[in-house]
Structure 1
């Protein structure tokens, strides 16, 4: 059974105090009572970008939370998430620039990659516009909605003065373009994050077409995924459909051999094995630490994780030598962490590859493969199982396979993006 997040616990306290049994189609909820009875900040209790982040008591009952006024919500039966389907279209995009932008695409904040997509002409290309067409950034940040109505689960909902946040918005001669952005490509999108701004700006500027763009950027592969969502029934947010989508890479996968990646400056000696498959979240954690977020509860709140899960990403970042951790001072960046943050987007995969290849598990695997030029998945488990802590094996049983799953995920990324491995069944060949 998954560990409870702080949101799970807070919502259960609130539901128990209000004696909510989910036997009504909806319930009115206000922020003051959420904080008093749930014992947690309402902004955190209402934060969920994916179905997995929705508090377990709500998810299990088939309910979701919709803001209807500043500080007021409706807890209502229904699904507020839209599918982000796989997109088959992919190509390498050549930036339309008179000179390279060395300061673009650093860090892991959405705003940097939105600006990069605009500056290199990628956004214009996806929208079917010429780079010479006037498209000016006029919207970014938070504001309050106008009044509008819609239907949800067969009920009429009225929204007025709800705070929305637009990652970026642009105005052209005929269009308003609104962007919602994420690092990494999720499987679902909280449709409210697109629908509320769409309705607000459709009323604010009725003479122009509002286009809703979801932009996801995968840092390890330098790949953009763009989706345009439309609402065939403007009064029904659940009518959301993908009008078009495309994937764009900023560069083709590299083809480097193992020897070109071995670099003692990145070498680490570890006492742990990582359990964090998603490299984008490691990037995000490093960026968080660089911005001053340095405690486990803050990290867990940001990712909507339980603290144990957030510790896995902290351990992975430590394993790669990106952050250090002390009980009194919390998390802080190492020199490698600062390097990863400041490198241009196209160079980040190479830095990450060197960090992985020179980490202690990979050093041992490469040593084992020195004669045969290959190692096996059994070797991965053996290396992880060989780690001793306090005179006894640190990992055993299924823990070894869970940690090994992360190593296999990283190997798959290295094989695809860097070319230093080739995987055939349970064998990994050095290139």
Structure 2
């Protein structure tokens, strides 16, 4: 079917990349070329006319795709240091977390002073902690005293290789790569294995397969050792490793999940009795009419955003371009932080930034157990969540959406009666109860 160009939606929902790519699609008649040839090659120099390519082409997750790419089911791949190719390529792998897994408890050696288990708020610090605590040895089934050393990280050249990429409507398309730039977050080598790691500091819904496939192809030609591609996330203090293989080294879409393994660096456990005691003893605060009722049903992502803000202040655009959030989700999750008294919005030169309040910074600097009990306390200060959680427990962890809606109406008088909105808010009430209970299952 022929693709017809149309401009993006309201300016308020656009990222900087949306605006820049819309201009490039218009200027270079990109859809016309794709309709005619099936692809379009664009130079880094042409992209740089609007914005730096490293920012314009950083589509780590499907949600990052600029609006024209989403509208026409397109994606982009680097084919050299100075050129990219655009087409209807399938380049994302869905990530599904197995919440039934019980994380393996590990520890950082006592002699390590430079890695603090309660201060792992960057990808590099989380990776270093995973390495020194022996997580990678356990991934490979090795003993802790078997040598496994970090040997590779950062940017490097790919040299030349070719592969096939699957198309959205079926079939495949050949891609030739000539000395593109690749980046590896961590490469770990034992006597028999080489582990390639792509790391993210938050829970994700998917990732760009290229981030594992390009390094996999490069190092397949440089070592005879078994290569283990691993996607890694550090979210809510849980280290989740997704071990993959490529069934066909010449096909990007041949990626297959082998196993998920979870770890936690803590010997502290949270009991349901402690949660119930906090819930019953926490004083209710007055609901503010100025702060919207939460519409974010995955509380893990709220905690992830708090961790990102512990490192630095961010705008909604910063969050949308660098993490697995879009603009709307960035505001929703930041608003949850505001609702709980953990985040505030500040303006500087007409730009709104999210930053942690002193309370939020104090919470995020606590030990594992104290941090999560403090977060539970901040939730239980709000009557709808307190009432719903206690009733959820009494009903054997079951509560209908209709009952959650009723609780919200009874306990919070300033909610929007709009059906779709209040259902989303009821979902938040129910899902937050589940998150709190999962803390006791680690």
Shift, 1:318, TM fit: 0.9
1:324 paired with 2:334, answer no
Q: In the alignment, which of 149, 168, 189 is matched to residue 186 of structure 2?
A: 168
1:289 — aligned with what?
309
Q: 2: distance between equivalents of 1:397 and 1:354?
A: 29
Q: 2: distance between equivalents of 1:114 and 1:310?
A: 25
Q: 1: distance between equivalents of 2:370 and 2:439?
A: 12
Q: 1: distance between equivalents of 2:108 and 2:308?
A: 30
2:196 — aligned with what?
178
Q: 2: distance between equivalents of 1:359 and 1:11?
A: 43
Q: 2: distance between equivalents of 1:171 and 1:418?
A: 35
Pairing of 1:396-411 with structure 2 (within 5 A) = 396-411=418-433
Tell me the TM-score normalised to structure 2 length: 0.79
Unpaired runs of 5+ residues, structure 2, are 1-7, 167-171
**What does the per-residue CA deviation read over 1:63-82, in whole Å, with 9 as the maximum and x for residues that have no partner?**
22001122420112320123
Q: 1: distance between equivalents of 2:214 and 2:390?
A: 55
Tell me the TM-score normalised to structure 1 length: 0.81
RMSD: 3.6
Pairing of 1:112-151 with structure 2 (within 5 A) = 112-151=125-164
2:379 — aligned with what?
356
Q: In the alignment, which of 214, 232, 247 is matched to residue 231 of structure 2?
A: 214
CA distance 1:295–1:94, change in 2 (3 Å):
closer
Q: 1: distance between equivalents of 2:395 and 2:304?
A: 37
Shift, 1:355, TM fit: 1.9
**Count of aligned pairs:** 408
Higher alpha-carbon deviation: 102-111 or 26-35: 102-111
Unpaired runs of 5+ residues, structure 1, are 388-392, 420-431
1:90 paired with 2:128, answer no
Higher alpha-carbon deviation: 276-285 or 301-310: 301-310
**What does the per-residue CA deviation read over 1:140-178, in whole Å, with 9 as the maximum and x for residues that have no partner?**
333333332223344442323433222222122222211
CA distance 1:291–1:263, change in 2 (3 Å):
farther
CA distance 1:263–1:122, change in 2 (3 Å):
farther
Pairing of 1:229-248 with structure 2 (within 5 A) = 229-248=244-263
Pairing of 1:14-413 with structure 2 (within 5 A) = 14-21=24-31, 22-23=34-35, 24-36=37-49, 39-85=50-96, 87=98, 90-95=101-106, 99=110, 103-153=116-166, 154-203=172-221, 205-219=222-236, 222-248=237-263, 254-255=271-272, 256-261=274-279, 270-271=288-289, 272=291, 273-303=293-323, 305-328=325-348, 330-359=353-382, 361-362=384-385, 376-383=403-410, 386-387=413-414, 396-413=418-435
